[in-house]
Amino acid sequence: MNELNFVVDSAKEAFEKALTPADLENAKALFLGKSGRITELMKGMAALPVDEKKSRGAAINLAKQAIEAALNSRRQALADAELQIQLQAEALDVTLPGRQRGQGGLHPVSITLERIEAIFGSMGFEVAQGPEIETDWFNFTALNTPEDHPARSMHDTFYVEGGSVSAPNLLRTHTSPMQIRHAVQHVKQHRAAAEAGQPSVGLFSGSMPEIRVIAPGRTYRVDSDATHSPMFHQCEGLWIGENVSFKDLKFVFTDFCRTFFESDDLVLRFRPSFFPFTEPSAEIDIQFQTGPLAGRWLEVAGSGQVHPNVIRNMGLDPEKYIGFAFGMGPDRLTMLRYGVNDLRLFFDGDIRFLSQFQ
């Protein structure tokens, strides 16, 4: 092997051994640098006679080109390898599940409340909200349930600060206090408008616009056992006018239930009952004709004709004004509509349960 071939082969070998670009540059200096082998060979030509110089020069040049070609291809190979490593390090695993944006939704009882509001809204009922901390007066006394009334024992509740010693404030045991609160407000507005000589705006003509309202919200009782919850929902309904009868209650509530459950053949039963604030009073039961609950009577509300004492506490003359009230359980309605068998599931906050309603 001649000397030049040997130099080219050693350069190729040195380049192959270089594992990083820096190693490669060092190896290059050994052959192509200022005092590298090729440069030395060029210098050595000075001593040669002219005719030899030409052929020697051409041969050294060929060797130099071969070395440069080897250098470039090794450079490329190292760059490719580096890119490969980088690509692997930054690789995205497209088989991983994507990050999902959690989607919120309404609680099933909220869905029911919206549904109740929409249906009664279509029948001309307003929606009113009231406080969950009530006074003894609104929760009991104004509703014809004086301090010593036995009906109070069924409504034991949580007593909170405020009020008087004999009549402390409490967490409301039902939404019925809203009957009084809303009616008093309604009457006050009407009287103020009349005094100012303005016609009061309302649903019907007559000396005063009718009161037609529902009042949904949270209520509290300590009667919790394994299947109850100390907090539950109610929705009050009240319709007071000059000529509102029990017949209207039957019509309105039947229409509501059939619309709510989307069942035209749903049957209602008004079972005689007692509430201090209504007379006569009735428990309302419903019966499905088809489906898993068909044939069973299911209690959904208490109701009755508003007691004259309550009408009086609204600031109205019971000889002139008459009407009905009802109080239903949206939690119960939600259970019946979706076939949920345990009330407590609504309040456990278990996302696996709640997400089924979205």
Using CA atoms, how far apart are residues 69 and 281, in angstroms rounded to an integer? Answer: 105
Is position 327 an interface residue for ligand PHE (rule: CB under 6 A)? yes
Per the document, the length of the chain is: 358
Is position 326 an interface residue for ligand PHE (rule: CB under 6 A)? yes
Please, what is the minimum distance in Å from the beta carbon of residue 303 to ligand PHE?
5
Is position 130 an interface residue for ligand PHE (rule: CB under 6 A)? no
Q: Of 209 and 304, which has the nearer Cβ to ligand PHE?
A: 304
Is position 330 an interface residue for ligand PHE (rule: CB under 6 A)? no
Please, what is the minimum distance in Å from the beta carbon of residue 126 to ligand PHE?
17
Which bin fits 293, alpha (ψ -120 to 50), beta or left (φ > 0)?
Answer: alpha
Please, what is the minimum distance in Å from the beta carbon of residue 312 to ligand PHE?
16
Q: What tokens does 331 get?
A: 């939690």
Which of 8, 316, 325, 335 touches ligand PHE by CB under 6 A?
325
Binding to ligand PHE in span 290-309, by CB under 6 A: 302-304
Which residue's beta carbon is nearest to the bound ligand PHE? 327
Is position 157 an interface residue for ligand PHE (rule: CB under 6 A)? no
The answer to whether residues 352 and 358 touch, using CB atoms and an 8 Å cutoff, is no
Q: What tokens does 129 get?
A: 């909200």
Q: Of 112 and 278, which has the nearer Cβ to ligand PHE?
A: 278
Q: What tokens does 91 get?
A: 């690789």
Instruction: Give one DSSP letter per residue of 253-280, joined into a string.
Output: HHHHHHHHTT-TT-EEEEEEEEETTEEE
Q: Of 174 and 186, which has the nearer Cβ to ligand PHE?
A: 174
Provide the 8-state DSSP code for 243.
S
Q: Of 326 and 346, which has the nearer Cβ to ligand PHE?
A: 326
Question: What distance separates the 2 farthest-apart alpha carbons in the chain?
Answer: 142
Q: Of 36 and 327, which has the nearer Cβ to ligand PHE?
A: 327
Q: What tokens does 217 get?
A: 């919200």
Binding to ligand PHE in span 255-294, by CB under 6 A: 275, 278
- From the list 35-43, 45-53, 117-125, 322-330, the region that binds ligand PHE by CB under 6 A is 322-330
Tell me the residue ranges of DSSP E strands in the chain: 126-127, 133-134, 159-163, 168-171, 211-220, 231-241, 267-275, 278-287, 298-306, 322-328
Binding to ligand PHE in span 160-199, by CB under 6 A: 174, 176
What is the binding site for ligand PHE (CB under 6 A)? 174, 176, 275, 278, 302-304, 325-327
